[in-house]
Amino acid sequence: MKQTIIYLVRHGQTEWNLEKRMQGHKNSPLTNLGITQANGLYNKLFEETIDVIYSSESKRACDTAEIIKGNRIIPIIVNKELREINMGDWEGMKQSDIISKYPEIWNHFWNDPLLYTPTGLGESYQKLQDRVIPEVKNIINSNQGKTIIIVTHRITLKVIMAHFNNQEIQNIWDTADIEPASLCKICIENGISKILLFGDTSHYK
């Protein structure tokens, strides 16, 4: 059976990334650097035969997907299940203000995901996993033997990569971080997945 290749991309740098604000389901535009980072991905993947691009419905992800696509005839399928973790009351807040107001929850978010309890209508790591992993499996099952790009977000990508790494949620921050517009690559053959790239930024100029 032909290999299924999945490229997993985090969106490029945004204005709120620069301002150290939490985004979640809210959005802020790509910066000039974020656009440059996405163009680096366009160049890196230009020689690849891409069958389909899936993108989170957040505009920063859709914009990154459009840049990677360029003028090639590749369908972009927008999928709300690929959105970032819902951060509840934290969305739009500066990290420094969150640390002042919610120091223990902030610590759990980064260091003990199983103890993290979201504020407001936010999602736990488990809820994110329950939302996104079945969707990724659906995408793979619908595109057997194809080459797929999935454009999504930092925490969502950490959860997806933990799944492919057979890693428990509480340990997802033990592996390298996922930088803006970084690239992961999974190869699936005969039902066995292999991680070929994790958080690669070699296309940064």
What is the crossing angle of helices 154-164 and 125-142, to 10°? Answer: 70
Architecture in CATH for domain 4-200: 3-Layer(aba) Sandwich (3.40)
Query: Cα–Cα–Cα angle for 140, 123, 53, nearest 5°?
Result: 30
Q: Give the residue numbers of the binding site for substrate.
A: 10-17, 60
Sequence-distant (≥ 6) Cβ neighbours of residue 27 within 8 angstroms: 14, 58, 59, 60
Residues in a beta bridge with 183: 9, 200
Q: Specify the DSSP class assigned to residue 11.
A: P
Distance in angstroms (rounded) separating the CA atoms of residues 205 and 203? 6
**Residues annotated catalytic, as ranges:** 11, 84
Q: Alpha carbon of 67 to those of 19, 79, 199: distances in Å?
A: 23, 17, 19
Q: pLDDT truncated to tens, each residue of the chain (205 aa)?
A: 789 999 999 999 999 999 999 999 999 999 999 999 999 999 999 999 999 999 999 999 999 999 999 999 999 999 999 999 999 999 999 999 999 999 999 999 999 999 999 999 999 999 999 999 999 999 999 999 999 999 999 999 999 999 999 999 999 999 999 999 999 999 999 999 999 999 999 998 7
Domain boundaries, the chain: 4-200
pTM over 0.95? The answer is: yes
Return the biggest CA–CA distance within the chain: 54
**Do the beta carbons of residue 25 and residue 165 sit within 8 Å?**
no
